[in-house]
Structure 1
Amino acid sequence: MSEKNFVGTLLLCFFLGNFGIHRFYVGKIGTGILMLITLGGLGIWSLIDFIMIAVGKFTDKNGNVIKA
């Protein structure tokens, strides 16, 4: 289980997901930069991440699941 805050990650994704801020927060810098450049895959990538976080399947840079 990750040390990163579930609610914080979910809110970052909801409000700033198109900029990849939630990925920077969990330590995924490379994909965070890609999301920043593509504006979250034109919103699709951000939506997928939001769903993954909400159902508890999103991981941090070490592969630890971020759960409530």
Structure 2
Amino acid sequence: MDAQKVDMFMMTNAKFFESHQVYNIRNILLEIDESKWIYISSIQFKDPTNMLIVSILAGAWGIDRFLIGDTGIGIGKLLTCGGFGIWAIVDLFLIMGATREKNLETFMMHARL
């Protein structure tokens, strides 16, 4: 793929990934076919900061996990009121990393199409 498009994508979307993943994502983008650009450029990533805010406000009910696609964990948090509060507090520290991991999974799924 064209290096200019890759750089534009990375400048726009680097905040949605862990910093150690950005280099690998850039290399993957440089190697993929130009025809996949429309799929890659149309991906809607979840914002880790927004997920942290949701986790602060409604994490005890599992809404943060439902939004990133962890339905099983979301149901567990919903049924236990956030693990009696403990799970909700722990998730305040983990939700941003989990969101970035889900974004990487989404990217990899579209890059393989």
Gaps of 5+ in 1: none
Counterpart in the other structure of 1:12: 54
Shift of 1:63: 7.3
What's the counterpart of residue 97 of structure 2? 57
Between Structure 1 and Structure 2, the one with more helix by share is: 2
Larger Rg: 2
Cα RMSD of the aligned pairs, angstroms, is 2.5
**Secondary structure of 1:64's aligned partner:** helix
Contact 2:55–2:91 (Cα < 8 Å) also in 1: yes
Q: SS at 1:3's partner residue?
A: coil
- Cα distance in 2, alignment partners of residues 60 and 31 from structure 1: 17
Unaligned 5+ residue runs, structure 2? Answer: 1-16, 18-43, 106-113
Q: How many residues end up aligned between the 2 structures?
A: 63
Pick one of 69, 76, 85 that aligns with 1:43: 85
Secondary structure at the aligned position of 2:79 is classed as helix
Percent of aligned pairs sharing the same letter: 33
Partner of 1:34: 76
* TM-score of the pair, normalised by structure 2: 0.48
The CA distance in 1 between the partners of 2:79 and 2:101, in whole Å, is 20
Distance 2:101 2:74 in 1: 11
Is the alpha carbon distance of 1:37 and 1:11 closer, same or farther for their aligned partners in structure 2, counting shifts above 3 Å? same
Q: CA deviation at 1:61?
A: 7.5
Higher relative contact order (CA 8 A, sep 6+): 1
